[in-house]
Amino acid sequence: MNTGMNTDMNPAAKPLAVITGASSGIGAATARTLSALGHPLLLLARRVERIEALGLPDTLARSVDVTDAEAVAGAVREAEALYGPADLIVNNAGVMLLGEVSRQPADEWERMFDVNVRGLLHGVRAVLPGMIERGRGTVINVSSVAGRKTYANHTVYSGSKFAVHGMSESLREEVAGHGVRVVTIAPGAVETELLSHTTDEVVKADYQAFKDSIEVLAPEDVAAAIGFAYQQPQRVTLRELVLAATAQVA
């Protein structure tokens, strides 16, 4: 069986893992976790200097906007030429621009769907044909608890994350027969830069007050869940992991 690993060169070598949105928060923590497990990495985000500052071994860092399908595919090709076929992609890049639909600028809706939905599909497409051909591989899509239920000021963000949940479920049906796993990770609030891009200052202050009122998850908590799902035997798919701070009520 072709394991998808670079076994010709080194039987102990771990296969390539691709992570989008690796310059901060959950993506950077996941990069550290997978690197510690011995995987060579392709790390993508626009701020490549932040990725390089992680200082991880066997890592290709590329400044890629996930809304650019060709740039994502090109970086994957380059990494596969160096490290062998991608066995894992963590589609993590995302933006959260909270606000009320009645007042929110429409370009904020477009950005969320562009990055959270179209960008995620670009990641999937860059690795999936190879995974199907090899009969193995894992796609981990980072959604949110806001992809399962609704919250105030989250309408469009929630819509983009419900899309991630729905597409992940359907994609699993598409590829299960080819030995490819699809995992959805749905975290509650995590201490990252995610909120910083919201432009409505009142909404931002409200959400910050909620975050300050409890001990939210750390990015490492989500990275550990991603590592746990990936390390299951290939015949086991943890279809969805939902995790939130114990103190998060809703």
Residue 184 interacting with ligand NDP (CB under 6 A): no
Residue 95 interacting with ligand NDP (CB under 6 A): yes
Rounded CA Rg of the chain: 18
Member of 187, 226, 229, 230 binding ligand NDP (CB under 6 A): 187
Scanning 11-19, 24-32, 101-109, 176-184 for contacts with ligand NDP by CB under 6 A, the matching segment is 24-32
Member of 17, 18, 41, 96 binding ligand NDP (CB under 6 A): 96
Member of 23, 138, 158, 184 binding ligand NDP (CB under 6 A): 23
How far CA 160 is from CA of 113, 114, 202, 236, in Å, comes to 6, 9, 22, 27
Q: Which residues are catalytic?
A: 157
236 vs 138: CA distance, rounded Å: 11
- Beta carbon nearer to ligand NDP, 132 or 242: 242
DSSP E strands in 64-174: the ranges are: 86-91, 137-142
Write the binding mask 50 to 89 for ligand NDP: x where contact by CB under 6 A, - elsewhere.
---------------xxx----------------------
Member of 61, 76, 86, 194 binding ligand NDP (CB under 6 A): 194
Write b or e for each residue in 190-203: b if 16 or more Cβ atoms lie within 10 A of its Cβ, otherwise e: bbbebbeebebeeb
Residue 155 interacting with ligand NDP (CB under 6 A): no
Question: Residues near 164 by Cβ (< 8 Å), separated by ≥ 6?
Answer: 116, 117, 120, 141, 142, 143, 144, 147, 184
The footprint of ligand NDP on this chain (CB under 6 A) covers a number of residues equal to 29
Query: Which two three-digit tokens encode residue 233?
Result: 């035997």
Residue 45 interacting with ligand NDP (CB under 6 A): yes
Backbone angles phi, psi at 135, to 5 degrees: 75, 25
- Beta carbon nearer to ligand NDP, 16 or 142: 142
By C-alpha distance, which of 159, 157, 149, 172 is closest to 240? 172
Backbone angles phi, psi at 27, to 5 degrees: -65, -45
- Beta carbon nearer to ligand NDP, 45 or 139: 45
Residue 149 interacting with ligand NDP (CB under 6 A): no
By C-alpha distance, which of 7, 47, 5 is closest to 27? 47
Residue 153 interacting with ligand NDP (CB under 6 A): no
Member of 15, 40, 85, 94 binding ligand NDP (CB under 6 A): 94
**Residue 22 in contact with residue 33, Cβ under 8 Å?**
no
User: What does the binding site for ligand NDP look like in residue numbers (CB under 6 A)?
Assistant: 20-27, 45-47, 65-67, 92-96, 115, 119, 142, 144, 187, 189-190, 192-194
